Structure 1
Amino acid sequence: MRRFRLPRSPGAAARLPLPPGGRRGAAPGTAALSSCGDESNNFKMSGGPRVSFNAIDSALSSLKNCQSYINSGMDVATQVALDLVESFNDEEDVNNMEKVMLEYAKMDRELNHYIKAFEETINQVKQEKPEILPDLENLVQEKFLEMESMNSDSDLQRNEKYMYFKDQLKEMKKQCKSDFLKMIL
């Protein structure tokens, strides 16, 4: 199973990748403290200091960008499989492309679970405003593992892009069979 992990440094609670500006602005184990920036993303902890989640939101945005790469991979795999069917390649090659699609569906599910766990954890911390910032990495990992424990292989076959892939393959096979029969008759 792939694990999405937040980078850690020794003794740090939750450290996220540096934002595009390159400054974290906080000591290890704390969120970035800030007196400026987007007020909707800053809040006063019950213990006093203001905490900014801008770096966390930046990391979350990067995770969401990964979804487009998975979608692109699924689109390419679909086109390759259709080309294989159209050129009357071995059925094994087409089956291998189906396995690739299932792997992409699995990556998509894992990424969606991680993003959801990430968002839910951050929203919970923002709502509760604890005096001491909890270990965000552990909280996210717990939620993620809970979601992943409910997975089944049938989930993968209900992936929208996988279902589209199967439909397109079926149609292409039908069309190729029809074209082949026209050629020999």
Structure 2
Amino acid sequence: MTVHGAYTGIIRDDLANVFNQAAERFPGVDPSGDLYRANMSRLQAVGNVAALATGVMTSVPIYLREGETVSSVTVASATTAANGPTAQWCALYSPTGVLVDQTEDLADEAWGANTAKTFDFDTPVLVAVTGWHRVAVMVTASSAVPTLAGVALHNAVESAALVTGELILAGRSGSTLTDTAPGTIGTLTANAGVPLVILT
């Protein structure tokens, strides 16, 4: 045992390896630069997933640290476009499930197939506490919500948790939502479709 606990390697070299792994997982992203957080690598988002239901939030867990600043949320549609959207926004929830902030509502703005969409917060959000936050995506549409790029798990059980302590990888909550995010995230129902969500 050393002053670094069970660690016996060379810190400088292993930190370099950590940065190398980050560069491989997130091509083009400088891990020492501005905030970039995602629930998966873009290379993993190979599915056309039915992550959304009209008027219902779908949220994913993303780890954030106190003092970090979040300006926007980016999500990519897959092969199905939004048809007749009336409300479109994202929201950031604290580790205890309380609403931190909501992005602008893009309302009836078109969202075509295979298109990335960025939702901006009116004011950059300063993270107040370190931990697993949840980032929600919500679309209300008269005809169809978009499918999203992400991962299609075998079933919702896999998304919910396989062992005690795991987080729900994609969870739906709320109902008949329009232009305003709920003050708390509510009870999550696991969904097998896990969308790629990026914070910058």
- Sort the TM-score into its range (normalised by shorter chain): under 0.3
Q: Which has the higher helix share?
A: 1
Computing the radius of gyration over CA atoms, which structure comes out larger, 1 or 2? Answer: 1
| TM-score (ref. length: structure 1) | 0.24
| TM-score (ref. length: structure 2) | 0.23
